[in-house]
């Protein structure tokens, strides 16, 4: 009886850990209800970027290229090696405290498919088969039909971490990994990973399960009223915005500051791209040359867009803040006031003595 209880306890612990590492918390960390997130995928067989785009229902190949910092000229038939991880961008939606990809990708069932095969093999362990059955309202998880269309709810999150905007990345844990290994790989710390994933240590870290990893994003000058606010681009990647008119890159070597420039792409919803010029006599353009003031260089940076306009603003002035008081003048005036006060006191004393 004691052994049975012990085994049952281990099973419950395993199921609890599976639940914690299989679902990402979303909607409770001061973040957004919807955002763009990333998942890491490694297929068992060699494939092409075009096939990966189709598998994950990604509208434009350039979104995958941008997430992986690949050249924009990379073709759809570019080979991708077996077991080589690629980052796939997904639209994330928060609901009931959990984040899942917003109605994508969709998958058509083939001969020999089961929910387990689809979750563990086709989608590399990113999602549990029970979750697929749940969101598709499948009554018997052992019965699916060829040609059936399934929504694959990939895990994701839009929450802030320690008050900062991040890009959440679903990392499939490899056998033999530790929390410290993952933290070192992605530039974060153990405590953050443990807290995000609701586990206490390596004993609850399960191989072949998705693990929530927050990727640091570059700071930007994008306004809160911009249609792409907040503009979140993870380190080592780029993104297109303002109806494809602007390309923004994030590089840790640039002091974690978003760097934007005209994209040279055809606009998505405009006939031509609007002006990208900052106001001022210098006539600076987004991503163009900088001007030099008495305090150092200033440049024109991307600040967001509306239905008709691209916002541009000068980078922050590096001049130190002007002192609110002139301390030399204050000292002189105080000294003068003190001298006059002493002189007046002396005259009063002489008058009384007289």
pLDDT per residue as tens digits for the range 266-315 = 999 999 999 999 988 788 999 997 776 656 678 999 999 999 999 999 98
pLDDT for 292:
67
Q: What are phi and psi of 246, to 5 degrees?
A: -125, 135
In contact, 263 and 310? CB cutoff 8 Å: no
- What is the C-alpha to C-alpha distance for residues 80 and 74, in angstroms, rounded to an integer? 12
In contact, 207 and 173? CB cutoff 8 Å: yes
pLDDT band at 326; cut points 50, 70, 90: very low
pLDDT band at 319; cut points 50, 70, 90: low
Q: Is 149 helix (H, G, I), strand (E, B) or coil?
A: strand
Across the strands, what pairs with 172?
Answer: 210
All residues at 6 or more sequence positions from 307 whose CB lies less than 8 Å from its CB, including other chains: 227
- What is the C-alpha to C-alpha distance for residues 239 and 65, in angstroms, rounded to an integer? 9
Region of 331 on the Ramachandran plot (φ > 0 left; ψ -120 to 50 alpha; else beta): alpha
- Per residue in 148-185, pLDDT (tens digit) is 999 999 999 999 999 999 999 999 999 999 999 999 99
Closest CA to 105 of 128, 78, 121, 123: 123
- What is the C-alpha to C-alpha distance for residues 284 and 281, in angstroms, rounded to an integer? 8
Token readout for 223 is 């306004």
pLDDT for 89:
98
In contact, 229 and 223? CB cutoff 8 Å: yes
In contact, 24 and 98? CB cutoff 8 Å: yes
What totals of helices (H) and strands (E) does the chain contain, helices first?
A: 8, 17
- What is the C-alpha to C-alpha distance for residues 337 and 331, in angstroms, rounded to an integer? 10
User: What is the Cα Rg of the chain in Å?
Assistant: 29
pLDDT for 3:
41
Task: Determine the distance from the C-alpha atom of residue 209 to the mean position of all C-alpha atoms in its chain, rounded to a whole number.
Answer: 21
The answer to whether residue 14 scores a pLDDT higher than 70 is no
Strands 210-216 and 47-48: unpaired
Q: How many CA atoms lie within 13 A of 251 on its CB side?
A: 7
Cβ atoms < 10 Å from Cβ of 41: 21
Token readout for 174 is 């490899």
| CA distances, 204 to each of 16, 86, 257, 263 (Å) | 9, 25, 36, 45
Question: pTM for this one?
Answer: 0.83
- What is the C-alpha to C-alpha distance for residues 154 and 55, in angstroms, rounded to an integer? 13
- Per residue in 113-157, pLDDT (tens digit) is 999 999 999 999 999 999 999 999 999 999 999 999 999 999 999
Q: Is 249 helix (H, G, I), strand (E, B) or coil?
A: strand
Sign of the C-alpha dihedral computed for residues 331, 333, 334 and 335 taken in this order? positive
């Amino acid at each position: 009886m004691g052994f049975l209880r012990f085994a049952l306890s281990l099973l419950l612990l395993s199921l609890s850990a599976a639940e914690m590492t299989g679902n990402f918390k979303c909607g409770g960390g001061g973040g957004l209800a919807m955002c763009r997130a990333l998942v890491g995928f490694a297929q068992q067989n060699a494939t092409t970027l075009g096939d990966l785009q189709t598998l994950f229902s990604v509208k434009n190949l350039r979104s995958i290229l941008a997430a992986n910092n690949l050249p924009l000229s990379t073709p759809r038939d570019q080979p991708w090696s077996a077991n080589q991880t690629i980052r796939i961008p997904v639209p994330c939606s928060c609901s009931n405290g959990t984040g899942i990809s917003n109605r994508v990708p969709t998958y058509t069932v083939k001969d020999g498919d089961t929910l387990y095969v689809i979750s563990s093999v086709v989608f590399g362990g990113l999602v549990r088969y029970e979750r697929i059955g749940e969101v598709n309202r499948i009554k018997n998880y052992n019965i699916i039909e060829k040609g059936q269309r399934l929504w694959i709810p990939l895990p994701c999150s839009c929450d802030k971490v320690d008050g900062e905007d991040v890009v959440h990345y679903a990392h499939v844990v490899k056998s033999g990994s530790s929390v410290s290994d993952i933290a070192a790989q992605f530039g974060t710390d153990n405590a953050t990973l443990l807290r995000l994933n609701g586990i206490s240590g390596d004993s609850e870290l399960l191989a072949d399960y998705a693990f929530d990893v927050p990727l640091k994003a570059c700071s930007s000058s994008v306004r809160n009223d911009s249609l792409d606010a907040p503009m979140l681009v993870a380190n080592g990647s780029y993104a297109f915005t303002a109806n494809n008119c602007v390309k923004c890159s994030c590089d840790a070597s640039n002091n974690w500051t978003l760097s934007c420039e005209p994209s040279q792409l055809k606009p998505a919803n405009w006939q031509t791209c609007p002006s990208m010029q900052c106001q001022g006599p210098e006539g600076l353009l987004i991503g163009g040359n900088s001007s030099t003031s008495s305090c150092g260089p200033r440049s024109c940076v991307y600040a967001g867009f509306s239905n008709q306009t691209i916002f541009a603003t000068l980078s922050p002035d590096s001049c130190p803040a002007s002192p609110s008081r002139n301390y030399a003048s204050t000292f002189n005036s105080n000294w003068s006031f003190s001298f006059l006060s002493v002189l007046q006191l002396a005259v009063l004393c002489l008058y009384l003595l007289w």
